[in-house]
């Protein structure tokens, strides 16, 4: 397995707050890497640095050995790394198609055939019949898929997805999970996925890393990571960790957490496995 | 065979050519007096200037209260070139426009990282600082006594066609700037500058380019205005009123639309003529009232009214009308500099 | 050295006035995210109200402070309730409110022109030319009084914002209006109150300015820019930040008189603004919360 993206000693300081603290990260080609952690752990900040939206305080990000961090997001997008936003940010004044065309035109500075490429991506994300509408008319799930489509249109190699499943209804969540999987299978992308919806993370990710208070506290197979005492402590507070059986943490994680965030381990929405539900059609909005 | 980019619609091209032909034969057919013809020339000129202002204010959502700086600079540079070197006037205009564009970039590059209202206030500073300096820079502007230019009546009537050509070029440029892939990028920046950057747009570069184009065009308009007047002085060329007039033309007609500011300029030139004639004491306040009324009741100005009528009578598919209106929307949805990513929605 | 001390003292005394007017602009922006482009108009109105009371009724400008503050407070609330409130919130509304308030400014300017002509006016009292002598320096009584009133105003304002319930509500709304609605704060009322306080500060600054300088209907446009420079420099809402930034601007202006021809000193504020933007782009609006 070859490493496609590597973050070295990545930190971000906001005044006195260390939002991200010396995080090391490797993403293998074709892998889906889950990133979990309580609210305010620094997940989004980590993405912003990888995507070039904000410069890191220390450290750097390499895509196949080339530095992409510290410049503009454009540098990262040209190299092939693109993000979506946790709070969706469609261009409200452009139609769905034009939103995606912006990605297709500016992602790789290739205006020719942008319309056709955008339409193909819309098809892929089951948004084709929404093409001439304004994004204001889409459901939240639709806008999340638009966010994904706009990113895909830049023809990335690495896709950073920030909570694209959280907040949508169970059927839409399954649809999105399918979509993410086919992004990897059909388009050959490597994906880093921030997600609070645990069942989705568990099923989609090949590997998971856990952030808490800016630090990486665990890393490994999803099933192992959720049993890690430090992870449980991070989500439920110190007292809970004593009760939890101490599982040997997989990867070398630096320090145990202290003063962890309040209990916020999200409850899984009661839903069956994605495969058992027929895929929802593009028009399927509530 | 494809001669034109796909976004050039045939109706738009035909309309522009028809307008050109009508404009060209108009003085002959109507037998316009010299005075009226001069009025029309001036209108053409301000249509061009208002459209160029709109590239910043409407396409990018960066409202400038300082465009008089480029108008005046273009005017005085070309006036000096005409007086000292006797250049052909079109060449003097181009040089004036280039100097104005360069000046725009000097102040605009740093201030354009401010969005929306912050940028606008900075431009008030630009306009005032420029006016102050220029009023005292007598070697360039002749100070408060201004500059007199030798204009013959023959030249003045010839300028009618030049103004028509200038206006046609600027209309075509407005259309291309909006409809091209570049224009799509501008709309994305207006809507959300950070999200635009995150898909590979360079907002700094694109905003600089638009400012250069806008500054150049307004500079050329100033240069044209200078060679058209017998006399120019810095208080008028660089004045606050001048900057406001560009804002008003665009607001009356419809900021952010393609053609609105052109309509606004036509109305504004007539209105100003009337007000200065009849209510010289009141015109500034009436401009202010106009701004208030338009923003409060119809933020897209005359084009907004047009959209309303189109909706009412079903002249346009509602979907098409909605997308046009969204593109024009004043200010777009640029990210609040104070806003921060919160928890899950 | 003597000259130097004189200039520093002059700058400090001026900074009080600058801080007052800048705080008014920053407060409104911090809470409503609206730039009050009519700031200059209210400053001008404050100056003329003080002048009118002095000319017509012989009221001392310092005694007319309550009247000026009350009138500009009510004017501000009227502008908010009648106009600004009807615009959409958020970024689209930001540009619209800018154009709208600009229109209000033009109307006010024109009204002042019709009522009082375009001539320069001054408020002349018997102590206008008197000065205090201290440590070998002669300082104008007026300037000291203006400074004292400005400092007092800022202290009261600071206490109001940090100690009273309403003040705390204003700061809370500045941080997060949505959660304030959830816990039952009447956000709309806070908005109009804040707008009123901001314009009251502008009116006060206008009156204080009028006892020092001559003015005409376009008085206040320079002060709008100065306020803006100070808010950009000093951050939002912090009284200390505003005071320091006001002092920096006043120092730069006062010393610019030594180095530059007189007509260029008007451009100093703008040059400072561009320098700040280039050198310290982080020092923009929205970096700090009110407090
Ligand atoms: N621009 C900023 N300025 C100051 N502090 C910030 C900024 N952005 C984020 N923070 C802070 O950094 C910390 C990490 O924020 P981040 O958004 O990365 O967390 P997160 O893990 O994505 O949380 P969530 O699960 O809620 O999305 C938080 O305490 C946040 O308040
Ligand atoms: Mg986040």
- Report the number of distinct structural domains present in chain C: 1
| Coil vs helix vs strand at C176 | coil
Q: How far apart are CA B228 and CA B49, in angstroms?
A: 15
Examine the domain organization and report whether A51 and A65 are in the same domain: yes
CB contact under 8 A, A151 and B199: yes
- Residue B213 in domain: yes
Examine the domain organization and report whether A23 and A121 are in the same domain: no
Predicted pLDDT of residue C22: 93
Q: Which atom of ligand 1 is nearest to the CA of A41?
A: 21
Chain C contact for B330 (CB, 8 A cutoff): yes
**Residues of B in Cβ contact (< 8 Å) with C177:** none
Examine the domain organization and report whether A173 and A260 are in the same domain: yes
- Residue B160 in domain: yes
Examine the domain organization and report whether A144 and A170 are in the same domain: no
Examine the domain organization and report whether A146 and A210 are in the same domain: no
- Residue B345 in domain: no
Q: For C91, which of B63, B133, B331 is closest by C-beta distance?
A: B331
| Coil vs helix vs strand at B106 | helix
**Residues of B in Cβ contact (< 8 Å) with A140:** 345
Chain B contact for A9 (CB, 8 A cutoff): no
Domain closes at, from A132, A155, A178: A155
Chain B contact for C283 (CB, 8 A cutoff): no
Predicted pLDDT of residue C153: 94
Give the CATH number for residue A22: 3.40.50.300
What is the distance, to the nearest Å, from the Cα of residue C80 to the centroid of all Cα atoms in its chain? 17
Nearest listed ligand to the Cα of residue A41: 1
Predicted pLDDT of residue B186: 95
Examine the domain organization and report whether A189 and A261 are in the same domain: yes
Distances from the Cα of B183 to the Cαs of A28, B113, B210, in angstroms? 38, 19, 10
Q: For B288, which of C105, C232, C270 is closest by C-beta distance?
A: C105
Neighbours of chain B (3+ CB pairs under 8 A): A, C
- Residue B92 in domain: yes
Q: For B295, which of C34, C99, C274 is closest by C-beta distance?
A: C99
Which among C26, C84, C91 is the top mutation candidate for probing chain B, defined by the most B β-carbons within 10 Å of its own β-carbon?
Answer: C91
Which of B56, B162, B43, B54 minimizes the C-alpha distance to B107? B56
pLDDT digits (tens, 9 = 90+) for C255-283: 888 887 777 776 787 777 777 766 665 55
Neighbours of chain C (3+ CB pairs under 8 A): B
Examine the domain organization and report whether A263 and A187 are in the same domain: yes
Chain A contact for B345 (CB, 8 A cutoff): yes
Pocket test for ligand 1, best of A18, A43, A262 (most atoms within 8 A of CB): A43
* Cα B197 to middle of ligand 1, angstroms: 20
**Residues of B in Cβ contact (< 8 Å) with A134:** 322-323, 326
- Residue B259 in domain: no
CB contact under 8 A, B285 and C106: yes
Closest-CA residue in chain C for B126? C270
- Residue A22 in domain: yes
- Residue C60 in domain: yes
- Residue B273 in domain: no
- Report the number of distinct structural domains present in chain A: 2
Q: Which atom of ligand 1 is nearest to the CA of A86?
A: 27
CB contact under 8 A, B188 and A132: no
Chain B contact for A77 (CB, 8 A cutoff): yes
Chain B contact for A91 (CB, 8 A cutoff): yes
The yes-or-no verdict on residue A168 having pLDDT over 80 is: yes
Q: How confident is the model at residue A256 (pLDDT cuts 50, 70, 90)?
A: very low
Predicted pLDDT of residue B93: 92
- Taking only residues 140 to 179 of chain A, the set having a beta carbon closer than 8 angstroms to any beta carbon of chain B reads 140, 150-151, 153-154, 163, 166-167
- Residue B261 in domain: no
Q: How confident is the model at residue C33 (pLDDT cuts 50, 70, 90)?
A: confident
The yes-or-no verdict on residue C288 having pLDDT over 60 is: no
Examine the domain organization and report whether A75 and A168 are in the same domain: yes
- Residue B71 in domain: yes
Taking CA atoms only, the protein residue closest to ligand 1 atom 18 is: A42
Predicted pLDDT of residue B340: 28
**Residues of C in Cβ contact (< 8 Å) with B290:** 103
Examine the domain organization and report whether A141 and A229 are in the same domain: no
Examine the domain organization and report whether A145 and A205 are in the same domain: no
**Residues of C in Cβ contact (< 8 Å) with B108:** none
- Residue A131 in domain: yes
Chain B contact for C270 (CB, 8 A cutoff): yes
Nearest listed ligand to the Cα of residue A19: 1
Closest-CA residue in chain B for C37? B121
Chain B contact for C111 (CB, 8 A cutoff): yes
- Residue C268 in domain: no
Distances from the Cα of B11 to the Cαs of B15, B23, B54, B87, B195, in angstroms? 6, 18, 22, 39, 34
- Report the number of distinct structural domains present in chain B: 1
Domain closes at, from A113, A129, A155: A155
Taking CA atoms only, the protein residue closest to ligand 1 atom 9 is: A45
As a whole number of angstroms, the longest Cα–Cα distance in chain B is 70
State the Rg of chain B over Cα.
Answer: 20
Handedness of CA C234, C240, C242, C248 (dihedral sign): negative
Residues enclosing ligand 1, CB less than 6 A? A 14, 17, 19, 37, 39-45, 86; B 340-341, 343
The H-assigned helical ranges of A95-250 are 96-106, 114-124, 140-152, 170-187, 198-204, 222-225, 229-236, 238-243
- What domain range includes position C39? 15-118+125-228
Examine the domain organization and report whether A209 and A116 are in the same domain: no
Pocket test for ligand 1, best of A41, A165, A166 (most atoms within 8 A of CB): A41
Predicted pLDDT of residue C237: 64
Predicted pLDDT of residue A244: 44
Examine the domain organization and report whether A205 and A68 are in the same domain: yes
pLDDT digits (tens, 9 = 90+) for C123-177: 888 777 777 777 777 788 888 899 999 999 999 999 999 999 999 999 888 888 8
List strand residue ranges (DSSP E) for chain A, in order.
Answer: 3-14, 17-28, 32-36, 58-63, 66-67, 81-83, 158-162, 190-194, 207-212, 215-220
Chain B contact for A109 (CB, 8 A cutoff): yes
Predicted pLDDT of residue A48: 94
Chain A contact for B195 (CB, 8 A cutoff): yes
Q: How far apart are CA A191 and CA A189, in angstroms?
A: 6
DSSP B193-206: HHHHHHTT--HHHH
Which of A189, A46, A91, A228 minimizes the C-alpha distance to B186? A91
Which stretches of chain B score pLDDT less than 50? 1, 332-345
CB contact under 8 A, B344 and A166: yes
CB contact under 8 A, B195 and A91: yes
Q: How far apart are CA A127 and CA A116, in angstroms?
A: 14
Chain A contact for B5 (CB, 8 A cutoff): no
Distances from the Cα of C141 to the Cαs of B214, B267, C125, C135, C146, in angstroms? 50, 53, 11, 15, 9
Q: How confident is the model at residue A238 (pLDDT cuts 50, 70, 90)?
A: low
- What domain range includes position A33? 3-80+156-284
Chains A and B form CB pairs within 8 A to the count of: 111
Predicted pLDDT of residue A279: 35
Phi, psi dihedral angles at C138 (to 5 degrees): -100, 120
What is the distance, to the nearest Å, from the Cα of residue A78 to the centroid of all Cα atoms in its chain? 19
Distances from the Cα of B127 to the Cαs of A17, A88, B130, C50, C241, in angstroms? 41, 38, 5, 30, 28
Which among C87, C95, C272 is the top mutation candidate for probing chain B, defined by the most B β-carbons within 10 Å of its own β-carbon?
Answer: C95
**Residues of B in Cβ contact (< 8 Å) with A269:** none
Predicted pLDDT of residue C280: 60
pTM attached to this predicted model: 0.84
pLDDT digits (tens, 9 = 90+) for A66-75: 999 888 899 9
- Residue A86 in domain: no
Predicted pLDDT of residue B4: 65
Strand partners, A3: A28
CB contact under 8 A, C263 and B126: no
- Taking only residues 50 to 79 of chain B, the set having a beta carbon closer than 8 angstroms to any beta carbon of chain C reads 61, 63, 65
What mean pLDDT do residues A204-229 have? 88
List strand residue ranges (DSSP E) for chain C, in order.
Answer: 131-134, 137-140
Closest-CA residue in chain B for A194? B344
What mean pLDDT do residues C28-45 have? 91
Neighbours of chain A (3+ CB pairs under 8 A): B
- What domain range includes position B186? 33-247
DSSP C33: -
**In Å, how far is B185's CA from the nearest CA of chain A?**
6
Domain closes at, from A155, A178, A202: A155
Q: Which atom of ligand 1 is nearest to the CA of B343?
A: 26
């Amino acid at each position: 397995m070859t490493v496609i993206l590597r973050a070295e000693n990545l930190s971000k300081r906001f005044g006195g707050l260390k939002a991200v603290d010396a995080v090391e990260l490797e993403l293998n080609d074709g892998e889906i890497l889950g990133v979990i952690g309580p609210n305010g752990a620094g997940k989004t900040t980590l993405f912003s640095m990888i995507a070039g939206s904000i410069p890191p305080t220390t450290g750097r990000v390499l895509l196949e050995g080339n530095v992409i961090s510290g410049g503009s997001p454009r540098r990262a997008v040209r190299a092939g790394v693109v993000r979506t936003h946790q709070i969706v940010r469609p261009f409200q004044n452009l139609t769905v198609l034009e939103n995606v065309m912006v990605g297709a035109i500016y992602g790789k500075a290739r205006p020719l055939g942008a319309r056709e490429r955008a339409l193909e991506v819309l098809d892929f994300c089951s948004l084709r019949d929404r093409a001439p509408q304004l994004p204001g008319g889409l459901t939240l799930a639709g806008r999340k898929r638009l966010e994904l489509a706009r990113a895909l249109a830049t023809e990335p190699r690495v896709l950073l997805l920030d909570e694209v499943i959280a907040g949508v209804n169970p059927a839409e969540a399954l649809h999105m999970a399918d979509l993410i999987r086919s992004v990897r299978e059909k388009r050959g992308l490597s994906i880093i996925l921030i997600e609070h919806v645990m069942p989705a993370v568990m099923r989609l990710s090949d590997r998971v890393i856990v952030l808490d208070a800016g630090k990486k506290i665990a890393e490994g197979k999803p099933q192992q990571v959720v049993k890690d005492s430090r992870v449980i402590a991070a989500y439920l507070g110190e007292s809970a960790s004593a009760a939890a059986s101490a599982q040997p943490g997989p990867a070398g994680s630096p320090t145990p957490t202290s003063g962890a965030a309040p209990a916020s381990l999200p409850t899984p929405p009661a839903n069956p496995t994605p495969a058992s539900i027929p895929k929802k059609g593009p028009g399927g909005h509530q | 065979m494809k001669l034109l980019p796909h976004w050039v619609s045939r109706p738009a091209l035909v309309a522009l050519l028809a307008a050109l032909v009508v404009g060209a034969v108009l003085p002959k057919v109507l037998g316009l007096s010299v005075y009226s013809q001069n009025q029309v020339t001036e209108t053409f000129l301000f249509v061009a200037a208002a459209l160029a202002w709109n590239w910043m204010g409407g396409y990018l959502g960066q409202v400038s209260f300082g465009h008089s700086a480029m108008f005046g600079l273009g005017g005085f540079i070309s006036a000096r070139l005409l007086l000292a070197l006797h250049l052909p006037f079109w060449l003097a205009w181009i040089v004036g426009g280039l100097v104005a564009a360069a000046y725009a970039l000097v102040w605009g590059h740093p201030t354009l990282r401010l969005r929306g209202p912050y940028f606008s206030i900075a431009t008030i500073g630009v306009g005032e600082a420029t006016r102050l300096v220029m009023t005292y820079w007598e070697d360039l502007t002749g100070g408060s006594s201004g500059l007199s230019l030798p204009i013959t009546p023959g030249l003045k009537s010839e300028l009618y066609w030049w103004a028509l050509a200038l206006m046609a070029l600027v209309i075509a440029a407005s259309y291309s700037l909006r409809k091209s892939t570049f224009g799509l990028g501008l709309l994305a920046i207006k809507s959300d500058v950070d999200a635009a950057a995150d898909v590979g747009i360079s907002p700094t570069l694109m905003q600089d380019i638009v400012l250069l184009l806008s500054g150049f065009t307004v500079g050329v308009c100033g240069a044209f205005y200078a060679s058209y007047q017998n006399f120019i002085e810095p208080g008028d060329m660089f004045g606050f009123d001048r900057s406001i007039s560009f804002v008003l033309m665009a607001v009356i007609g419809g900021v952010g639309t393609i053609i609105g500011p052109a309509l606004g300029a036509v109305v504004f030139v007539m209105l100003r003529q009337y007000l200065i004639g009849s209510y010289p004491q009141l015109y500034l306040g009436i401009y202010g009232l106009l701004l208030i009324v338009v923003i409060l009741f119809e933020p897209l100005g005359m084009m907004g009214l047009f959209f309303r009528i189109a909706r009412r009578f079903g002249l346009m598919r509602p979907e098409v009308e909605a997308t046009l209106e969204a593109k024009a929307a004043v200010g777009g949805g640029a990210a609040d500099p104070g806003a921060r990513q919160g928890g899950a929605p | 050295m003597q000259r130097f001390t004189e200039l520093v003292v002059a700058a400090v005394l001026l900074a009080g006035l600058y801080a007052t007017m800048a705080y008014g602009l920053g407060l409104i922006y911090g809470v409503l995210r609206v730039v009050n482009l009519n700031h200059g108009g209210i400053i001008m109105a404050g100056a003329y109200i003080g002048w009118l009371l002095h000319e017509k009724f012989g009221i001392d400008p310092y005694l007319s402070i309550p009247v000026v503050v009350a009138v500009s407070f009510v004017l501000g609330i009227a502008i908010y309730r009648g106009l600004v409130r009807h615009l959409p919130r958020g970024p689209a509304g930001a540009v619209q409110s800018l154009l709208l308030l600009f229109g209000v400014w033009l109307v006010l300017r024109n009204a002042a022109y019709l009522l009082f002509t375009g001539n320069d006016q001054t408020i002349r009292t018997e102590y206008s030319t008197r000065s205090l002598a201290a440590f070998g320096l002669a300082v104008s009584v007026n300037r000291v009084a203006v400074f004292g009133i400005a400092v007092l105003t800022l202290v009261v304002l600071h206490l109001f914002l940090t100690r009273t319930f309403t003040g705390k509500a204003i700061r809370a709304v500045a941080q997060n209006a949505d959660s304030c609605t959830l816990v039952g704060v009447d956000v709309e009322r806070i908005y109009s109150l804040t707008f009123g306080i901001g314009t009251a500060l502008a009116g006060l600054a206008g009156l204080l300015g009028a006892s020092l300088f001559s003015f005409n209907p376009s008085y206040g446009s320079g002060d709008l820019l100065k306020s803006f420079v100070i808010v950009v420099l000093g951050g939002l809402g912090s009284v200390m930040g505003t005071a320091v930034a006001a002092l920096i601007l006043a120092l730069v202006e006062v010393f610019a008189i030594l180095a530059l021809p007189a007509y260029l000193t008007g451009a100093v504020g703008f040059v400072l603004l561009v320098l700040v933007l280039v050198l310290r782009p982080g020092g923009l609006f929205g970096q700090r919360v009110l407090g």
